[in-house]
Structure 1
Amino acid sequence: MKIISISALLLASSVSMAADYKIDPAHSGVIFKVGHLGVSTTPGRFNEFEGNFSLADDGKSGSATLTIKADSVDTNHEARDKHLRSPDFLDVKQFPSLTFNSTKFDGKTLSGDLTLHGVTKPVSFDVNKIGEGKDPWGGYRAGFEAKTVIQRSDFGITYFIPGVTDRTEIEVYVEGIRQ
């Protein structure tokens, strides 16, 4: 009986445990940047999103999901936002959400499938862990920044290229609350 207990203990100690986190949207953000007419960069963001992630204790594996409401696009310009919601760009009536589902995380790179405008393509984010620790309310939090670049034409969004660049930078800032 003692041998089984020791074996179970050794097995448990060799398996990296994972913690599950729910994204806190009040302390997170999804931002994009595109070039405009070759003279400037226009930033935007999505105001409504949800998701979760898990992270192994060693920080070298995990997973993440993110769902973004497409009609929450916000570039601080009402007319432009209305146009971005139209069939020329996001077509939010036909494609109400953008999703990301990870397939692999190695501690520095998060790879997965991004679905945008009804098209799913593999993408990889460069990830930087900001920190983790106890919060003042008795919980535990972890935060990350992730960046990638996509070509919007790969997702069927080709309107006004090159006036608005095909190259689109995406930055995700995430603070998660351990569940």
Structure 2
Amino acid sequence: MTAFDGLTPGTWTLDPAHTAAGFTVRHAGISKARGQFGEVEGTLVVGEGASELRFEAVLKVASITTGNPDRDNHLRSADFFDAETFPEIRFVSTEVRGDSLVGDLTIRDVTKSVTLDFSYEGTATDPFGTYRAGFTGETKISRKEFGLTWNAALEAGGVLVSDEVRISIESEFVAPTAA
């Protein structure tokens, strides 16, 4: 990412209807389990250059969905995210480095610096006259580093849930009203 053509300075608002924040983990060593967060909030603050770009996203833990209600409830429990005690996951960028966005990810009150492979997808005006910008980002984390340590041993060896979690976000932002 070297240019942000079309981005006007100011605070852009994340459009949750056109944003997907999800994750993928290995399950039982033989497949993948996927999920996403239905409630996402965020802002994109655009300055005069790439070094002045700031991104913040908040995921509501209670909105997690994997397509399996029992697994969703387990993920919301104290075994995993503990949605009652830690209702939000938060990412706040600290730096743009080429095609990467560096920032602080907070899960269960544990904050770690992570680097997202980050792409600016461009801008467009929709049929209703709203000016929008799109971004995608991906990273991998160790869930254990964030206190997500629950697991179950498998009879044949290994564990039920991998430590590595792939995180992805596809986001769309609405321009400041002055844009």
Same fold (TM over 0.5): yes
Post-superposition Cα deviations, 1:10-53, rounded to whole Å, max 9, x if no partner, equal xxxxxx97342100000011010000011001110000010011
Q: Which has the larger radius of gyration?
A: 1
Question: Residue 118 of structure 2 contacts residue 136 of structure 2 at CA under 8 Å; is this kept in 1?
Answer: yes
Which secondary structure does the structure 2 equivalent of 1:149 belong to? Answer: strand
Give the one of 137, 143, 166 matched to 1:146.
137
Matched residues in 2 for 1:35 and 1:71: separation?
A: 22
Unaligned runs of 5+ residues in structure 1 are: 1-15
Structure 1's consecutive aligned runs of 4 or more residues displaced over 2 angstroms after TM superposition are 16-20, 54-61
Correspondences of 1:108-127 after superposition (within 5 Å): 108-127=99-118
Q: Determine if the alignment matches structure 1 residue 78 to structure 2 residue 75.
A: no
Work out whether 1:166 is the aligned partner of 2:163: yes
CA contact under 8 A between 2:43 and 2:55: conserved in structure 1? yes
* Contact residue 60 and residue 107 of structure 1 kept, 8 A: no
The structure that is helix-richer by fraction is 1
* 1:118 to 1:107, Cα distance in 2 relative to 1, 3 A: same
Q: TM-score, normalised by structure 2?
A: 0.86
Structure 2 unaligned residues grouped into runs of 5+: 1-6, 153-158
Identify which range, 70-79 or 123-132, moves more after superposition: 123-132
Task: Supply the RMSD in Å over aligned alpha carbons.
Answer: 1.8
In the alignment, the residues of structure 2 paired with residue 149 and residue 106 of structure 1 have an alpha-carbon distance, to the nearest angstrom, of 17
- Percent identical across equivalent pairs? 37
Find the partner of 2:59 among 52, 65, 68: 68
1:102 aligns with 2:99: no
* Deviation at residue 129 of structure 1 after TM alignment: 1.6
Q: Could you tell me whether the CA contact under 8 Å between 1:61 and 1:106 is conserved in 2? A: no
Tell me which residue corresponds to 1:42.
Answer: 33
